[in-house]
Amino acid sequence: MQKLGEFKLPHFFNYPPYFTLQPVREAREKQVQLWKELILDYCRTQKIFVIGLEEEFPLFSNSVIERTLSHEAREAFLSALVSEGHAEWLDKGHRKCLILWHRIQDWAEIILNFVKDNGFEHSVMTVEEIRSGIESRGTELHGIDRMILMRALKLLQQKGKLAIFKGTSADDEGVKFSV
């Protein structure tokens, strides 16, 4: 089985047509579906939150069969992810894409569970602690993209579950939970 680092690649990764954007409708739909899942899987396991279309992304090439996804194909698959809410374009030119293998609201759920599991219902923490503190290790929150975390926190703030405030140092913010 082929691997990309520790990641196990599916067998159709070696099927050359997989890397050419298919024009026929049924084939295209299948192809897009397979790529969406592959991208999300890969990003989740590798903790990748942002994909730059013009950069080299290991998943987009297969050196064994010497094929690479064209820019058009990459944009097509990522746009499909955006349409179903699993990604967002970070710029108008569609050069950078934020990958949300968990949607923002799902991340919010995870944060709430994290808070409940650790008894932080009324605690105060810094944002940095949430994403890299000891408690987060082993959870999905560990190493989460800061941008995503902020948005999830803001969502929870809107729901009244917490309050975000500026911390003592200029670059860190704090959170007061009231779950």
Partner 1 sequence: MADFFSKAEVTSSGRPVLLRSEVECHLLSSVDIESEDNHHFYPLKSGLLILTTHRLLWLPSSSSSSTSSAAAIPLHAISHIFSTKKSLKSMFHSPRIRFQVLVSPDGRLFDPASGSGSSSGSGSKSIVLTAVVRGKGDCDGFLGKLWESWRARAWECNETSGSGSGSGSGTGTSTATSGGLYSSDGSVRMVGVAGILRKEQEMWESTDKSLQDAFQDLNALMSKAKEMVMLAEKMRQKLLSGSSSQTSGANDEDMGSKEEMQDWLLSVGIISPVTKESAGALYHQQLSRQLADFVRTPLQRAGGMINLIDAYCLFNRARGTELISPDDMLQACSLWEKFDVPVMLRKFDSGVMVIQNKSHSDEEVFARIKGLVTKPEALRSGISPSDAAITLGIAPAMAKEHLLTAESKGLLCRDISPDGFRFYINLFPEIDPRDVYLLK
> How far, in Å, CA of 32 to CA of 79, rounded?
10
Please spell the DSSP secondary structure of 105-157, one letter per residue.
HHHHHHHHHHHHHHT-TT-EEEHHHHHHSGGGTTSTTTT--HHHHHHHHHHHH
Residue 67 contacts partner 1 per CB under 8 A: yes
Smallest separation (angstroms) from partner 1 to the CB of 169: 46
Interface segment toward partner 1; rule CB under 8 A; list 7-15, 101-109, 136-144, 150-158: 7-15
Smallest separation (angstroms) from partner 1 to the CB of 21: 8
CA dihedral 171, 152, 41, 81 (to 10 degrees): -110
Interface segment toward partner 1; rule CB under 8 A; list 30-38, 96-104, 125-133, 170-178: 30-38
Residue 2 contacts partner 1 per CB under 8 A: no
What type of residue is 177?
Answer: F
Residue 170 contacts partner 1 per CB under 8 A: no
Smallest separation (angstroms) from partner 1 to the CB of 90: 28
Cβ-Cβ contacts under 8 Å for 123 (sequence gap 6 or more)? 115, 176, 177
Residue 64 contacts partner 1 per CB under 8 A: no
> Binding residues for partner 1, per CB under 8 A?
1, 8, 10-12, 15-17, 19-20, 22-24, 26-27, 30-31, 33-34, 37, 66-67
